Amino acid sequence: MSDALWYLTIRRFSGTGAPEDIAQRVRDGLLPILRAEPGFRAYYVARIDGGGGIFSATIFDDQAAARRINDTVLHWAEANMADLLTGAPVVIRAGVSVHLDATKPGSDSYMLLRVTEGLGPSAGVLPTVQEKIVPLTLEQPGFRHLYTGRDEAQADRSVAVSVFSNRSTATAAHAQVAALMAQHRDIWPQSPKVVLAGEVIVSALA
């Protein structure tokens, strides 16, 4: 875990293109651009469970860079993925207050996007996150990475991107986190919701 504040950008693209074609174009065209940018931390792309498109998570250590790179990504997608993806993406931005990495190597194969609404100020939530959620997350089988913080557009909503080795470990971990949150309704008055999930088709770390 680090005290550094990173910046997370999530994009959901609709489309019917084959995930394999999307992944190949991203690896060949977009990923080298992202890796060359100062402040690059991580990038993931996953096919949405049930079809209908993809979603991605981009992590930079500078807010200005994250916003500038978002424009780069959108322009690149429009120029290079128009036959695979349709329309403008839905974009969510969050300042990352907690990020975790597994202590043992493993595959980054499944990604969840979870949101929790109705939260009070971060100062009243973060200590419990560090005391309760962090240890629980790190002990989960198949855990790989976690990036979580407040939605820039909705102050009472947290956004968490977690990466696991497979769907079953991700689902089991979410159930445990939700059960723990339910024991602390003074901190988390509403249950967390998984809004996007799917198999990772591209992953890269700095």
Domain spans, the chain? 6-205
pTM beyond 0.85: the answer is yes
- pLDDT more than 90, % of the chain: 86
- pLDDT more than 70, % of the chain: 98
In three-state secondary structure terms, 35 is: helix
Residue 1 pLDDT level (bands cut at 50, 70, 90): very low
Token readout for 107 is 């595959």
| Residue 2, pLDDT score | 43
> Positive or negative CA dihedral for 34, 36, 38, 41?
positive
> Helices (DSSP H) in 53-133: which residue ranges?
63-80, 122-128
Tell me which of 3.30.1330.60, 3.30.70.100, 3.40.640.10, 3.40.50.300 is the CATH number of domain 6-205.
3.30.70.100
pLDDT (average), residues 56-62: 94
Residues in Cβ contact with 138 at an 8 Å cutoff, skipping those fewer than 6 apart: 100, 102, 103
Q: How far is the C-alpha of 148 from the C-alpha of 161, rounded, in Å? A: 6
149, 94 in Cβ contact below 8 A? yes
pLDDT at residue 3 tops 70 = no
Residues in Cβ contact with 139 at an 8 Å cutoff, skipping those fewer than 6 apart: none
Amino acid type, 89: P
| Residue 104, pLDDT score | 82
Q: Which residue in 31, 11, 53 sits closest to 204, CA to CA?
A: 31
Residue 157 pLDDT level (bands cut at 50, 70, 90): very high
Residues in Cβ contact with 191 at an 8 Å cutoff, skipping those fewer than 6 apart: 116, 178, 181, 182
Q: Between these two residues, 163 and 4, which has the higher pLDDT value?
A: 163
What 8-state DSSP symbol labels residue 48?
A: P
CA distance from start to end of the chain: 16
Report the range of poorest mean pLDDT among 8-12, 42-46, 50-54, 140-144: 50-54
pLDDT at residue 165 tops 60 = yes
Q: Which residue in 99, 116, 104 sits closest to 60, CA to CA?
A: 99
144, 108 in Cβ contact below 8 A? yes
Q: In 10 A of CB 150, how many CB atoms?
A: 20
In three-state secondary structure terms, 183 is: coil
Average pLDDT of the chain, as a whole number: 93
